[in-house]
Amino acid sequence: MKIILASQSERRKNLLKQIFDNFEIVVPDTEEIMEEMFEPAQIAMLNAEKKAKSAGRKIDNKNCLIISADTVVVVNNRIFGKPSDFNSAFEYLKILSGTIHRVITGCCLFFPAENKIIMDYETSYVKFRHLTDQQIVNFLKKDTFLDKAGGYAVQEIGDEFVEEIRGSYDNVVGLPLGLLKKMLDDFKNLRETEIIDIGFPNSSGVGKYSGKTIFIENATVGDIAWFRVKREKSNFSIAENCGIKKYSNLREDPFCPHFGICGGCTLQNLKYDFQLELKTRYLVETLSRIGKIQTKPDLDPMIASPVERYYRNKMEFAFGLNGGKMVLGLRQRYSPLKKYRGYVNKLDCCPIFADFVNKLFPFFIRYAEQNNLEPYNPFTKKGYIRHLVLRHAKNTGQIMAIIATRSGIHLNLGDFAKSVVNQIPEIVSFWWVENDQLSDVVSFQKKHLIYGRTFIEEKIKGLRFKIYPEAFFQPNTGGAARLYETILSLASTVRHKKILGLFCGSGPIEIFLSRIAEKVIGVDNNPANIQTAIENCRDNGIENCEFFCLSAEEFLKKETVNQNKYDIVVLDPPRSGLTGKAIRRIIDICSESVIYVSCNPATLARDIAIFCANGYQIKRIIPVDMFPHTTHIETCCLLQSS
Question: Strand 100-111 to strand 64-75: parallel, antiparallel, or no bridges (unpaired)?
Answer: antiparallel
Angle between helices 133-140 and 154-161 (to 10 degrees): 160
d(CA 75, CA 53): 29
Angle between helices 580-588 and 552-562 (to 10 degrees): 30
Selection from 151, 92, 140, 107 nearest residue 12 by Cα: 107
Contacts of 617 (CB under 8 A, 6+ apart): 639, 640, 641, 642
**How far does CA 523 lie from the centroid of its chain?**
32
d(CA 615, CA 506): 31
Distances (CA, A) of 70 to 31, 192, 256, 443: 12, 27, 29, 42
d(CA 338, CA 16): 29
Distances (CA, A) of 498 to 437, 566, 598: 41, 5, 22
Cα torsion 636, 352, 32, 365: sign: negative
Secondary-structure breakdown of the chain: helix, strand, coil percentages, each rounded to the nearest 5: 30, 30, 40
DSSP 8-state assignment for residue 580 = H
Q: Is 599 a residue of the active site?
A: yes
* Structural contact between residues 237 and 215, judged by C-beta atoms closer than 8 angstroms: yes
Residue 252: how many other CB atoms lie within 10 Å: 13
Distances (CA, A) of 315 to 369, 390, 437: 22, 5, 19
Among the listed residues 504, 599, 636, 637, the single catalytic one is 599
Phi-psi region of 533 (alpha: psi -120 to 50; beta: other; left: phi over 0): alpha
> Active-site residues: which are they?
599
